[in-house]
């Protein structure tokens, strides 16, 4: 049996929108590109045809992947969570002991992670290390650059 994939409502909608765009826009466009490339003659030396076929393979693979993820999605609504622990969907403010600065992360699913937006994957080293901790806990996280020590300053669910 397939394992469920945790994600927020926002992440779920994003996957659905990407799937819809691939099916309604990208797939018909690549089929048209293949037809045009065929019209140029000899397919054995037709770079446009090869590129379009490669793009078609990518699109079909991504459609299959998105269908699978959507089918296995477990949409979690962080606002309905009642706990004092860090769990999926939490907005967590951490105090970095080394740099004496604060950073805020939202713990999300793998497909939603975007460090620039402060969203980290629940499966990332930092995300995994934070799960289960409470306010004022000290969290030691082994990251590629070494050991990071954080203090949990705030936990919110929106």
Angle between helices 47-72 and 9-21 (to 10 degrees): 150
Query: Please, are residues 149 and 99 in contact by the beta-carbon 8 Å criterion?
Result: no
Q: Which of 53, 75, 97 is the last residue of a domain?
A: 75
55 lies in the same domain as 113 = no
59 lies in the same domain as 88 = no
Q: What is the pTM of this model?
A: 0.80
Distance from C-alpha of 111 to C-alpha of 6, rounded to nearest angstrom: 10
pLDDT-derived band at 1, boundaries 50, 70, 90:
very low
pLDDT per residue as tens digits for the range 15-54: 999 999 999 999 999 999 998 888 877 666 778 888 999 9
CATH code: domain of residue 132: 3.10.50.30
64 lies in the same domain as 97 = no
Distance from C-alpha of 119 to C-alpha of 124, rounded to nearest angstrom: 11
Counted domains in the chain: 2
52 lies in the same domain as 90 = no
Distance from C-alpha of 89 to C-alpha of 106, rounded to nearest angstrom: 6
Q: Which domain holds residue 87?
A: 78-156
């Amino acid at each position: 049996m397939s394992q469920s994939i945790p994600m927020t409502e926002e992440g779920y909608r994003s996957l659905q929108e990407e799937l819809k765009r691939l099916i309604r826009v990208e797939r018909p466009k690549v089929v048209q590109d293949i037809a045009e490339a065929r019209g140029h003659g000899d397919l054995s030396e037709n770079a446009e045809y090869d590129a379009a076929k490669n793009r078609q393979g990518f699109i079909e693979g991504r459609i299959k992947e998105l269908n699978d993820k959507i089918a296995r999605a477990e949409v979690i609504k962080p606002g309905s969570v009642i706990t004092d622990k860090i769990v999926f969907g939490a907005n967590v403010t951490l105090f970095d002991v080394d740099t004496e600065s604060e950073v805020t992360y939202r713990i999300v699913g793998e497909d939603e992670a975007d460090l620039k937006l402060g969203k980290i994957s629940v499966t990332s080293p930092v995300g995994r290390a934070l799960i289960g901790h409470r306010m004022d806990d000290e969290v030691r996280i082994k990251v590629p650059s070494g050991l990071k020590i954080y203090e949990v300053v705030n936990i919110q669910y929106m």
